[in-house]
Amino acid sequence: MSMAFEPTSETEAADIIRQAAGAGMALAITGGGTRSGFGNRVRAEQVLSARKLSGIVSYNPAEMTMSAKAGTPMAEIEAALLGNRQMLAFEPMDHRGVMGTSGVPTIGGVFAANVSGPRRITAGAARDHLLGIRFVNGAGEAIKSGGRVMKNVTGLDLVKLLCGSHGTLGLLTEVTFKVLPLPPAAATIVAFGLDDAQAVAAMAHALSMPVEVSGAAHLTESVRYRFVGSSHPEGAATVLRLEGLPASVAVRAEKLKAAFAQVAPATVLDQEATEKLWRDIRDAKPYADGTQKPLWRVSVAPTAGHQLVAALRLQTGVDAFYDWQGGLVWLRMEADAEADMLRRFIKGIGGGHATLVRASDAVRAVIPAFEPEPAPVAALSARIKEKFDPMGIFNPGKMG
Amino acid sequence: MPETIAFLEPKPSVLARRRQIVEDLADILPAGCLISEKRGLVPFETDAFIAYRQVPLAVALPETTAQVAAVLKYCSRYGIPVVPRGAGTSLSGGAIPQSDAVVIGLSKMSRILDIDFANRSATVQAGVTNINISEAVSADGFFYAPDPSSQLACTIGGNIGMNSGGAHCLKYGVTTNNLLGVKMVLFDGTVIELGGKALDAQGYDLLGFVCGSEGQLGIVTEATVRLLAKPEGTRPVLFGFMSSEEAGSCVAEVIGSGIIPVAIEFMDKPAIGICEAFAQAGYPMDVEALLIVEVEGSEAEMEAMLASIIDIARRHGVATIRESQSATEAALIWKGRKSAFGATGRIADYICMDGTVPLSQLSYVLKKTAEIIDGYGLRVANVFHAGDGNMHPLILYNINDPEDAARAEAAGNDILRLCVDAGGCLTGEHGVGIEKRDLMLHQFTQMDLNQQMAARAAFDPQWIMNPSKVFPLEGRPVA
Ligand SMILES: Cc1cc2nc3c(=O)[nH]c(=O)nc-3n(C[C@@H](O)[C@H](O)[C@H](O)COP(=O)(O)OP(=O)(O)OC[C@H]3O[C@@H](n4cnc5c(N)ncnc54)[C@H](O)[C@@H]3O)c2cc1C
Ligand SMILES: Cc1cc2nc3c(=O)[nH]c(=O)nc-3n(C[C@H](O)[C@H](O)[C@H](O)COP(=O)(O)OP(=O)(O)OC[C@H]3O[C@@H](n4cnc5c(N)ncnc54)[C@H](O)[C@@H]3O)c2cc1C
């Protein structure tokens, strides 16, 4: 590939795309390129980067919305939010650790990949926070969808289709999203020594209590010391996050700790330790290990995650920990990616999907990164793709 | 009855085959699942947007997904338009049929299939009413969050059709944020499942695209929704103001301060009078505007939040503050609010607008709305979800006076244009239906709409699913 296209305006981007469509020239769409190793290998002749479509367009803290050009670095967005004690509530992960990439993640890349972290269980995913978009479709047409208000059902929701489309339906040029106040206080309750099944039951119980748990993860024994130090009791650590007003967090922490203390030794982590812990969970820290060992991100029903891992352990070398009350499983395979076995087992436990986040080039060449869809859904997705990108020039192969 | 909103011309080829179609559908469906006599069809001729009526060709009331699929397969084969229907409470005419259409009603599919507390999800058939879900899980300490005021009647299928909201969506989000999966039937009878108990699906977010698609992408027959643990306590508090502007700016400041109550509902003086007469909820009658602010959590948490909110309200000149003292009082406060539309309907005919505006524009839009209504010599009652800027001016008129009805429709259109011009949108939760269809070009360019229509065609290439709705009749792709 030669030099990347780096348009500085939507009009310029549209011109480039229109010409590429005319010439049948495939384009690899990137933001900061920090997740470029993700998804299937793209077969493209040119890179089209949103990097120079950059800058916060409007930020109205009182209305809790921000609009930014798609190539705006995440760091710039986070700094502006922090200045007003606000945040992206869906906690997008920083993939640089596990992927071993450098670069500057962009807000467009976050929404294009629908990246969400631990608070997903209560606050929703990236797609739940995206209010409006501007994008250029594969015919070079500039389109808008959604808006900047919290509730909007005007017309068909193209925002949802573009969010998570990994650059295969259009080039996002501008995104408008919801932001939320940073919680003034936070604490984490940790229970030690529970096995996976016990932990999943305990997390389900915690989420049935009126204490508003905003993070529920189970850090298995093999990874636990990467998260929680050895000054605490031994064994796996089951962690539950509480956030809100200081007095309220304190009261709820006592309640939750009391409930936990009946089944395991339990302790409470303060705000600083809480913030670090959940950032590490968000970024799958134990697997930011500088290796190419196959890393899977599995999404299943919360009570099914540990059943899947138990079944896999009988067959192959695997290391795992759980977020999302047990429903998000980070799986690192010791040797083979074992895609077929993994995907077969997932079907057996009631469905979900496995995404190959990292692997060597050789493995990625033969294993589809995304779970193959059932035939009628795949047909529908192919028709959608065709309606946005009739010439098939955006990220060919990425999701297929 | 005004005639300004057109429906698609009925297809002569379909009307001509009416008898044959009815016979064929009778073969496909079990006994008692097909309505084809005029008298039986009349109850389906409109929804809660009662100004328009169209008697459908037939009504199918299937009992299973397979029957829905069989009817759709048949209809697509002959190009017969299909209008999905839940409880018919749409306020935008989304469920109004057309004379050449088969209505597929989900009322017989009203079973709760699975409740899974450990995974905090419930799987239900599309015809289950919204309230049924919360009632089924309440004893175990859970609820289903989106709560449209019509929740006693409206169905989860209709909620998905419109991506419905409700008073408590300020904190918990609308239908799309609480929907985990659907089973649905495409135009040609293909059955697909999207999502499930896992929190995130991958591939294109077809589930998110289907939610709010107003019956144009297929028929939902089952839904898996997210359950939430009920809060420890909830408390609605009434704040009375001597002007709508003060109430509006109070809302903006509460939200701007970072406090997110579960609900902030707004009523102006006419709405207060109507609701109080109906529910005797103890609303203050001597104020111009009323906010119902609900907080939840532990006693200490509610106290702390309320203290901050009361501070803000005082800065905006609040005239009365009344905390509910008991569960009964709290229930009455909500009964009054949730029956607002029904109670209004007892004193006059109304059309309900649904524009949403940025909070900073709330006071301005309220003032302008009053001017528009005055200009047409009409009356209005405002009762709406203020916390997320979702306005519901109820324009009162007399349905039997065509001139009055035309004025009401024109005033409504002016108000919606005002909302868009203020940085908002035509509809926050009721959907475009037929009501706002011809205003779409005020919010979108033709190119924007073309992309939406192209995506629609990926699901329904024949355009048989609820075809008169959402998109202006001009500018559609030619078949
Ligand atoms: C290791 C790893 C794990 C990942 N895990 C997940 C995951 O679990 N869930 C998930 O949803 N995603 C996941 N992703 C996707 C991740 O691709 C995000 O891409 C990320 O936020 C990148 O920001 P960026 O600016 O560096 O984007 P890039 O790496 O440049 O691009 C990321 C993706 O978004 C597209 N893209 C970027 N900018 C635009 C734009 N302006 N318009 C349209 N498309 C654009 C790209 O084509 C690419 O597909 C993962 C990625 C990696 C590398
Ligand atoms: C008094 C009153 C108060 C209301 N309050 C609120 C409120 O607070 N918030 C709010 O959001 N709305 C409110 N509404 C509007 C209305 O209740 C909602 O739009 C509701 O979701 C409609 O549900 P329904 O079952 O009546 O659907 P219908 O009116 O029958 O249909 C609605 C739309 O969905 C489609 N549809 C129905 N079922 C299916 C299915 N199974 N598959 C695919 N498409 C389907 C229809 O074709 C139609 O386009 C209110 C209405 C009334 C009359």
Q: How far apart are CA B80 and CA B126, in angstroms?
A: 22
Are B378 and B401 in contact, with CB atoms under 8 Å apart? no
Measuring CA to CA, which residue among B216, B204, B461, B455 is closest to residue A387?
B455
Write out the residue limits of the CATH 3.30.70.2740 domain(s) in chain B: 348-437
Contacts of A86 in chain B (CB under 8 A): 258
Per-residue pLDDT averaged across A266-290, rounded? 95
How many angstroms does the Cα of residue B377 sit away from the middle of ligand 2? 30
Are A86 and A182 in contact, with CB atoms under 8 Å apart? yes
HSE value, Cβ hemisphere, 13 Å, CA-based, for A130:
33
Reply yes or no on domain B348-437 having CATH 3.30.70.2740: yes
Compute how many other C-beta atoms are within 10 angstroms of the C-beta atom of residue B311: 12
Give the orientation angle of helix A246-261 with respect to helix B299-315, to 10 degrees.
Answer: 170
Question: With pLDDT > 70 as the criterion, what percentage of chain A qualifies?
Answer: 97
User: For chain A, where are the E strands, in sequence order?
Assistant: 27-30, 46-49, 56-60, 65-69, 86-87, 130-136, 142-146, 171-178, 180-181, 185-192, 213-219, 237-244, 266-269, 295-300, 318-323, 328-333, 352-358
pLDDT digits (tens, 9 = 90+) for A78-115: 999 999 999 999 999 888 888 877 778 999 999 999 98
How are beta strands B349-352 and B393-397 bridged, if at all? Answer: antiparallel
- Integer CA distances (angstroms), A295 to A97, A307, B172, B235, B291, in order: 12, 18, 33, 47, 51
pLDDT digits (tens, 9 = 90+) for B176-212: 999 999 999 999 999 999 999 999 888 999 999 999 9
- Integer CA distances (angstroms), A339 to A63, A303, B1, in order: 45, 21, 62
Owner of token pair 């209010």: A131
Q: How far apart are CA A388 and CA A168, in angstroms?
A: 9
Q: How far apart are CA B152 and CA B142, in angstroms?
A: 18
Give the orientation angle of helix B299-315 with respect to helix B244-256, to 10 degrees.
Answer: 130
pLDDT digits (tens, 9 = 90+) for B456-478: 999 999 999 999 999 999 999 87
Looking at residue A37, its pLDDT comes to: 57
Owner of token pair 């006071």: B363
Task: Specify the fold of A10-181.
Answer: 3.30.465
Residue A394: is its pLDDT beyond 50? yes
Q: Is A132 in the pocket of ligand 1 (CB under 6 A)?
A: no
DSSP state of B71: H
Per-residue pLDDT averaged across B31-40, rounded? 97
Measuring CA to CA, which residue among B434, B447, B441 is closest to residue B417?
B441
Architecture of domain A185-282: 2-Layer Sandwich (3.30)
DSSP characters for A153-184? -SS--HHHHHTT-TTSS-EEEEEEEE-EEPPS
Owner of token pair 């002569």: B12
Looking at residue B1, its pLDDT comes to: 44
Q: How buried is residue B7: exposed, middle or buried, by Cβ count under 10 Å (0-12/13-18/19+)?
A: buried
The type of residue at A84 is N
Measuring CA to CA, which residue among B405, B415, B413 is closest to residue B371?
B415
Return the H-helix or E-strand segment holding B237: strand B234-241
Question: With pLDDT > 70 as the criterion, what percentage of chain B qualifies?
Answer: 99
Contacts of A208 in chain B (CB under 8 A): 117, 120, 140-142, 229
Q: Is B214 helix (H, G, I), strand (E, B) or coil?
A: coil
- Probe site for chain B from A63, A134, A154, A380 (most B CB atoms < 10 A): A154
Are A319 and A335 in contact, with CB atoms under 8 Å apart? no
The type of residue at B403 is E
DSSP characters for A45-104? SEEEE-TTS-SEEEEEGGGTEEEEETT-BHHHHHHHHHHTTEE-TT----THHHHT--S-
A126 to chain B: closest CA residue: B200
Question: With pLDDT > 90 as the criterion, what percentage of chain B qualifies?
Answer: 89
DSSP state of A373: P
How many angstroms does the Cα of residue A165 sit away from the middle of ligand 1? 9
Residue A398: is its pLDDT beyond 90? no
Number of H helices, E strands in chain B: 17, 18
Architecture of domain B12-105: 2-Layer Sandwich (3.30)
- Integer CA distances (angstroms), B355 to A323, B393, B419, in order: 38, 9, 6
Weakest-pLDDT range from A33-37, B28-32, B94-98, B339-343: A33-37
pTM: 0.95
Are B440 and A144 in contact, with CB atoms under 8 Å apart? no
Residue A287: is its pLDDT beyond 80? yes
Bin A325: left if φ > 0, else alpha if -120 < ψ < 50, else beta. left
Residue A2: is its pLDDT beyond 80? no
Per-residue pLDDT averaged across B235-254, rounded? 93
Paired with B381 in beta bridges are B394
Q: Do A147 and B213 touch (CB under 8 A)?
A: no
HSE value, Cβ hemisphere, 13 Å, CA-based, for A244:
24
Residue A35: is its pLDDT beyond 70? no
Reply yes or no on domain B112-229 having CATH 2.40.30.10: no
Q: Do B470 and A155 touch (CB under 8 A)?
A: yes
Q: Which residues contact B278 (CB under 8 A, 6 or more apart)?
A: B336, B339, B342, B343, B346
Looking at residue A104, its pLDDT comes to: 84
Atom 41, ligand 2: residue with shortest CA distance? B157
Are A243 and A214 in contact, with CB atoms under 8 Å apart? yes
Ligand 1 atom closest to the CA of A35, numbered from 1: 53
Bin A82: left if φ > 0, else alpha if -120 < ψ < 50, else beta. alpha
Q: How far apart are CA B313 and CA B317, in angstroms?
A: 6
pLDDT level of residue A34 (50, 70, 90 thresholds): low
- Probe site for chain A from B176, B200, B425 (most A CB atoms < 10 A): B200
HSE value, Cβ hemisphere, 13 Å, CA-based, for A268:
18
Write out the residue limits of the CATH 3.30.43.10 domain(s) in chain B: 12-105
pLDDT level of residue A40 (50, 70, 90 thresholds): low
Contacts of A40 in chain B (CB under 8 A): none
How many angstroms does the Cα of residue B354 sit away from the middle of ligand 1? 36
- Taking the mean position of all CA atoms in its chain, how far away is CA B469? 15
Per-residue pLDDT averaged across B334-340, rounded? 91
Q: How high is the mean pLDDT of chain A?
A: 93
pLDDT level of residue A1 (50, 70, 90 thresholds): very low
Atom 44, ligand 2: residue with shortest CA distance? B215
Owner of token pair 């030794």: A265
- The total number of residues shown for chain A amounts to 400
Return the H-helix or E-strand segment holding A347: helix A339-348
Atom 53, ligand 1: residue with shortest CA distance? A35
Q: Is A70 in the pocket of ligand 1 (CB under 6 A)?
A: yes
Residue A125: is its pLDDT beyond 90? yes
How many angstroms does the Cα of residue A53 sit away from the middle of ligand 1? 16
Q: Which residues contact A125 (CB under 8 A, 6 or more apart)?
A: A90, A114, A116, B199, B200
In this complex, the residue of A141, A155, A387 whose CB is nearest that of residue B447 is: A141
DSSP state of B92: S
Closest ligand to B92 CA?
2
Looking at residue A98, its pLDDT comes to: 84
Residue B2: is its pLDDT beyond 60? no
Q: Which residues contact A92 (CB under 8 A, 6 or more apart)?
A: A74, A110, A115, A116, A117, A126
Measured in angstroms, the CA of A273 and the nearest CA of chain B are apart by 24
Laid out side by side, the sheet with A237-244 consists of A266-269, A185-192, A237-244, A213-219, A318-323, A328-333, A295-300, A352-358
Size of interface A-B (CB pairs under 8 A): 268
Two tokens at B216? 């144009």
pLDDT digits (tens, 9 = 90+) for A161-170: 999 999 999 9
Measured in angstroms, the CA of B442 and the nearest CA of chain A are apart by 11
Task: Specify the fold of B234-340.
Answer: Alpha-Beta Plaits (3.30.70)
Two tokens at A55? 């800058």
DSSP state of B390: B
Ligand 2 atom closest to the CA of B90, numbered from 1: 29
Q: Where are the domains of chain A?
A: 10-181, 185-282, 285-369
Measuring CA to CA, which residue among B38, B42, B45, B57 is closest to residue B102?
B57
Are A147 and A24 in contact, with CB atoms under 8 Å apart? no
Are B195 and B177 in contact, with CB atoms under 8 Å apart? no
B257 to chain A: closest CA residue: A62
Looking at residue A68, its pLDDT comes to: 98
**ipTM > 0.90, yes or no:** yes
Write out the residue limits of the CATH 3.30.465.10 domain(s) in chain B: 112-229
pLDDT digits (tens, 9 = 90+) for B106-120: 999 999 999 999 999
- Integer CA distances (angstroms), B444 to A140, A291, B438, B472, in order: 17, 48, 11, 11
Are B459 and B384 in contact, with CB atoms under 8 Å apart? no
* A185-282 matches A285-369 in fold: yes
Backbone angles phi, psi at A180, to 5 degrees: -135, 160
pLDDT digits (tens, 9 = 90+) for B9-22: 999 999 999 999 99
How many angstroms does the Cα of residue B140 sit away from the middle of ligand 2? 27
pLDDT digits (tens, 9 = 90+) for A233-276: 899 999 999 999 888 899 999 999 999 888 899 999 999 999 99
Task: Specify the fold of A285-369.
Answer: Alpha-Beta Plaits (3.30.70)
Are A21 and A139 in contact, with CB atoms under 8 Å apart? yes
DSSP state of B284: -
